[in-house]
Each structure stands twice: as C-alpha cells, then as structure tokens.
Structure 1
Amino acid sequence: MKAFSIGVIFIWKGATKMATRGTKRFIWGFFMLWVALMAIFTFADLNVSKALYNEEHSRFGWFFEVYGEHPAFLVLFAAGSILFSTVRDARLVKKILIRLISGLFILLSGFSIVFIALNRGYELAGSGVMLICLAVAVLLAALAQWLLMQVPVETLSTYNRAAWAGIVIVFAEIMVVNVLKIFWGRMRFRNMEGDYSQFTSWFLPQGIQENGVTAEAHKSFPSGHSANGWTMMVWMLFMPFASKWRNIMLVIAVAWGLCTSTSRVIMGDHFATDVLTGAFITITCMLLFCKLFKVDIYSDHQTNASVLQKDKNAPYFR
C-alpha cells in the first residue's frame, strides 16, 4: 500500500509539472473530488451496495453491463483508423509497418465492440457468431477509411499523437486494473453470503485467492467496467479547443462514466470504492500519457489566444 501511494503521488506530480493552466485546474479539481468521495464511501461501501443492489430487475444496470465498456474499444478503433489513414502518402516501409499495427487495433477493437454486445446482451457465442463479428468489423473498418479519405492528410495527422496516446491509455488502464484484481482479491457483493461476513474494506488487500486468475468472485477491486467506461474522456483529445467541443465531450464522458460506475454497484459486481478506483486509474493514465505524448487536455487561453483566433476550428496540440 505504501509503494502504491508513493507511485500515485509521483505520477500526479509529474502530470501537473509544466501542464497548462486549464489542465492543472482539471487535474486538481478531479483529484480533490476523488479523495472526498473515497473518504465517504470507504465507510459507506457495504450500506450503499445493500441499498442499490438490484441485479435481476434493473434494465439500467443491464444496459451498462453490456455497453458500458464500449468507449475503450471505440477509442482503439478510432485511433487505429486515424493512424491507418494518415500514412497513405508515407514511404512504403513506414506505411506497411503502421498499417499492420493500426490494422490489428482496428480489427480487434471492431470485433470486440460487436461480440461483447451480442454475447452479453443476447448470450450469443460460437464460431458462427465470431465470424459474423469479424465480418462486421471489416465492414466498419472499410467505412471508416472511406470517410477518413475525405479528410486531408495534413488535417488528420494533427491527431496522430492523440491517437497513439489513446491506444496506450486504454492498454495501460486494462493492464493495471486486471493485475490489481488478481492481487487484491476482494470479494464481489453479489457473491457474499447473507451475513456479509466476507466483506473487506478496499484498503485491505486479500492476496491471490484460490484458482488465482480465474477466481472471478474475488475480482471486485478495482472495476474494469468503470475504468473502460471512463475512457470516454479520451475522446476529448480528438476535439478542437476553440469550439467548446472539449467541454461538451467532458460532460458526455462524465455522464457515461457515472452511469457505468453506478450500474456496477446496482448489479452487485462492485462496491462504490471499486468503481471510483477504476475511474482514478483511467484518468491518471490519461493525464500521464498525454504528458508523455505532449497532448494538452486543455489549452492555456492566454498563451494560445493568437493561435485560436487564427483558426477557431483547428485542433491544437503542443
């Protein structure tokens, strides 16, 4: 726990260093809100789950169980599509390399988008369903490339760093969440017996449980659905600064993240602190890798005012 806390502090100090004023406000606003909510739900975790649990009859919970994680795969699909298209005029070796890598992202994410919806929503599986999902992924990829061909390479390439950052953010949050799940060993609410004697606080790791990585009942902390749902915020990186689209996307992302997180408590898969930690992991990864890839979440309006005045619709990445 001490090493984890030190690591978090180090990452957040790094994320704020040399960030724009708008980004710093975003960082500290989020961090203070997260700390306050974690403090509250640390003591209220079990009671909140008892009050909200409604696995059998909640259509809201069902919807976000099926579709809540889709933003992560949509980010991979969009980022891969951008990278695939921007090398259309590149040298042959670079074009082949980038298109092999980005094409893999496109097909894997496109397949996942369709398969998760069919499997979780309608319990469809099997080789036939998988072939259908792959075919749909190919068609979606072809449609995306046709649409992107209408955009000049010069305009599209301004999003390259955001695309690479988006890919790394998604893979990083998935890896961190799934590793923590194994070693934390916290039991899910819906798997507990009637007296809730197996409940443990989030700050007390239980270690690797029997059956190791397959012990699904002990993978409550942190929430993968929440982490993937909050990747909706990564879509801010593909929005221009000047037209207020980033603020609009932020509102949409927060609404989606909150709905996905709440649904996990309703379905009994996670406690409130689990979903808060999932959100924290994703947003921390976003802040860290945006810094590494030199992609600003918000511009400094004082330093960038002249740039924004010249072209109010142009994306700007420092």
Structure 2
Amino acid sequence: MIVWAILAIIFGIYDLQISQTLANESSPLGEFGRDYGELPGFGLIAICIIICVGYFFDNPKYRRTIGIIGILAGIVIICLGFLLHDTPLILIGGTVSVSIAVLLILTPQIQWKIYNKLAHMVLYLAFIVPLLFVQTVKVLSGRVRYNDLLPDHSNYSPWYIFNGLDIHNSSFPSGHTTMAWMFLPVLIFLWNGNFDKGVKLLASIMIIGWGAFVLTSRVIIGEHYASDVLFSTGMVVMVTYLLYKLYYRKQQ
C-alpha cells in the first residue's frame, strides 16, 4: 500500500514525461497488448459463467449442454463481429468459444463444483472492477489519452483532476489492465489448494508476468499513462483481497 501511494504521487508529477519517453504507437509489443491483452480475461469470465450456471444442475449432461450453448453464443459473437467488421469482437467471440470448449474437454462436468467458489469470485471481481469501477470512472474523469493530446499538451490533466462527464476521452483508468489481472483469484485457488509447488510457482510467474506485460504495453502504445494502469492494478488487487477475506475464505 505504501509503495502504491508513493507511485501514485510520482506518477501524478511525472506521468506526461514517462509517456513522452516510452510511448511509441507503432510498437509491436504495444500492438500485441492492445489486440490480445483482454482476451484471456474474457475467456476466464466465460468459463466461470458456465461453471456457475452449471452448478444449478446435478446431471452432467445438462452441464455439458450449458457449455455447448456458451460455445454457440461465442460463435454468434464471431458472426456479429464479421457483420460489423469488428475485429476485436471476432477475437472475443473466438476466445469465448475456445475457452468453453477446452473446459468441456479437459474438465469432467462432475468436478465443476470444485471450482464454484473460484468462479463466483472471478465474476464478482469482473463486475466490480472492469465493469462498474472502470466504466464509471472513465466517464467521470474525461482524461485525454496521450495519443490524443494536442501538440502543446495543453489538454493534458493529471490523474487527480476530473474533467467532468466525457464519453470520448477515457484514459483513466485502464480497462485492459483490469482484464489482464482477472487471473489473480486463480492464484488464491492454487495456493490454497494441494497443488505441486512447481505448478504454483509457474502459474504465479505466468499470471503476474502477463498482467505486468499488458499494463506496460498500454503505456508503450500511448493509450494510457502510468497512473492509469497503476490505479487499475491497485483496484484489482484490493478487491481480490477483500473478496478472499469476505467471501472465499468464509465459504471454505
């Protein structure tokens, strides 16, 4: 918490200078983070929805049917993406379908109840942070993205100044970053379970590494400032911790 507060102060002073140093709209890393940074989060959310809905049915066949419906929903999203010429929508639909298909293939439906608490925790996190917090604050903040600044940077504003309702300028906070951290509850599940230590360490490296990569890529491509990704990360960590204390641990 102290480190986060110190960084918030530093970024409040040097946000613009950091972006001037790092931003590069043609960066391959930035483009990769922009195009694919949210997809694992969408895939996990889709899986968790299927698990939570399937929990209400004792018959594995019904659970499998629910999974198939989820796959078809992903295909519908893909078709809609093609109709609208919307590549991100196509990628999201494909991720949803593939993720649910992997769930059905690798996980027997009879075992879904093991993941019910984790699935609920992920969905609570997704609702509270990416959907509620990020979308509300974006509109209230009205912060102009670095790439959209005027040549003299006269329309730049630090993170602590809210410019009023604005649906066009939405730099603060970062939605991509919150979606990249959606796997944090999975770490809680793994470290609280009887899994091999090597599996826990590998998963930790992958999950934390992916989150760190995506938040860095958002600054590099100039669509967010350092403070945008800092607050998104801090919010996910805080809400995940509260969900663990107030929900996950009490459900054990």
TM-score normalised to structure 2 length: 0.81
Specify the code of the residue in structure 2 equivalent to 1:145: L
| Deviation string, structure 1 residues 191-223 (Cα, Å, up to 9, x no partner) | 1111111111111111113xxx3x1xx211111
Specify the code of the residue in structure 2 equivalent to 1:180: V
| Deviation string, structure 1 residues 241-270 (Cα, Å, up to 9, x no partner) | 552344432322221111111111111111
Taking the aligned partners of 1:250 and 1:136, their CA distance within structure 2 comes to 22
Q: Residue 162 and residue 295 in structure 1: after superposition, are their counterparts in 2 closer, same or farther (change >3 A)?
A: farther
8 Å Cα contact 1:42-1:201 kept in structure 2: yes
Q: For residue 276 of structure 1, what is the aligned residue in structure 2? A: 230
Q: For residue 247 of structure 2, what is the aligned residue in structure 1? A: 293
Taking the aligned partners of 1:146 and 1:55, their CA distance within structure 2 comes to 39
Q: Which moved more, 1:287-296 or 1:133-142?
A: 133-142
Higher-Rg member (1/2)? 1
Specify the code of the residue in structure 2 equivalent to 1:279: T
Q: For residue 18 of structure 2, what is the aligned residue in structure 1? A: 48
Taking the aligned partners of 1:132 and 1:277, their CA distance within structure 2 comes to 27
Return structure 1 stretches of 4+ with deviation > 4 angstroms: 84-88, 102-108, 127-140
Q: Residue 286 and residue 105 in structure 1: after superposition, are their counterparts in 2 closer, same or farther (change >3 A)?
A: farther
Taking the aligned partners of 1:273 and 1:234, their CA distance within structure 2 comes to 23
| Deviation string, structure 1 residues 90-126 (Cα, Å, up to 9, x no partner) | 69xxx79xx87x8887766x469x85xx99xxxx742
Q: For residue 70 of structure 1, what is the aligned residue in structure 2? A: 39
Query: 1:168 Cα shift?
Result: 1.3
Task: Say what the alpha-carbon RMSD is for the aligned residues.
Answer: 3.5
Taking the aligned partners of 1:252 and 1:136, their CA distance within structure 2 comes to 18
Q: Residue 226 and residue 137 in structure 1: after superposition, are their counterparts in 2 closer, same or farther (change >3 A)?
A: closer
Q: For residue 170 of structure 2, what is the aligned residue in structure 1? A: 219
8 Å Cα contact 2:41-2:179 kept in structure 1: yes
Taking the aligned partners of 1:190 and 1:78, their CA distance within structure 2 comes to 35
8 Å Cα contact 1:85-1:145 kept in structure 2: no
Taking the aligned partners of 1:251 and 1:222, their CA distance within structure 2 comes to 24
Q: For residue 9 of structure 1, what is the aligned residue in structure 2? A: none
Residues 1:228 and 2:179 aligned together: yes
Residues 1:141 and 2:100 aligned together: yes
Q: For residue 5 of structure 1, what is the aligned residue in structure 2? A: none
Taking the aligned partners of 1:290 and 1:61, their CA distance within structure 2 comes to 32
Q: Residue 144 and residue 254 in structure 1: after superposition, are their counterparts in 2 closer, same or farther (change >3 A)?
A: closer
Q: Structure 2 matches for 1:143-158, cutoff 5 A? A: 143-149=102-108, 153=110, 155-158=111-114
Query: 1:139 Cα shift?
Result: 6.5
Taking the aligned partners of 1:133 and 1:253, their CA distance within structure 2 comes to 19
Specify the code of the residue in structure 2 equivalent to 1:69: E
Residues 1:191 and 2:144 aligned together: no
Unmatched tracts of structure 1, length 5 or more:
1-30, 297-316
Q: Residue 295 and residue 74 in structure 1: after superposition, are their counterparts in 2 closer, same or farther (change >3 A)?
A: farther
Taking the aligned partners of 1:227 and 1:259, their CA distance within structure 2 comes to 12
Query: 1:131 Cα shift?
Result: 8.7
Q: Residue 131 and residue 73 in structure 1: after superposition, are their counterparts in 2 closer, same or farther (change >3 A)?
A: closer
Specify the code of the residue in structure 2 equivalent to 1:43: I
Specify the code of the residue in structure 2 equivalent to 1:197: S
Q: For residue 13 of structure 1, what is the aligned residue in structure 2? A: none
Specify the code of the residue in structure 2 equivalent to 1:267: I
Q: For residue 243 of structure 1, what is the aligned residue in structure 2? A: 196
- Alignment equivalent of 1:160, drawn from 116, 134, 147: 116
Q: For residue 219 of structure 2, what is the aligned residue in structure 1? A: 265
Taking the aligned partners of 2:75 and 2:218, their CA distance within structure 1 comes to 24
Aligned residues: 245
Query: Identity of paired residues, percent?
Result: 26
Specify the code of the residue in structure 2 equivalent to 1:250: S
Unmatched tracts of structure 2, length 5 or more:
none
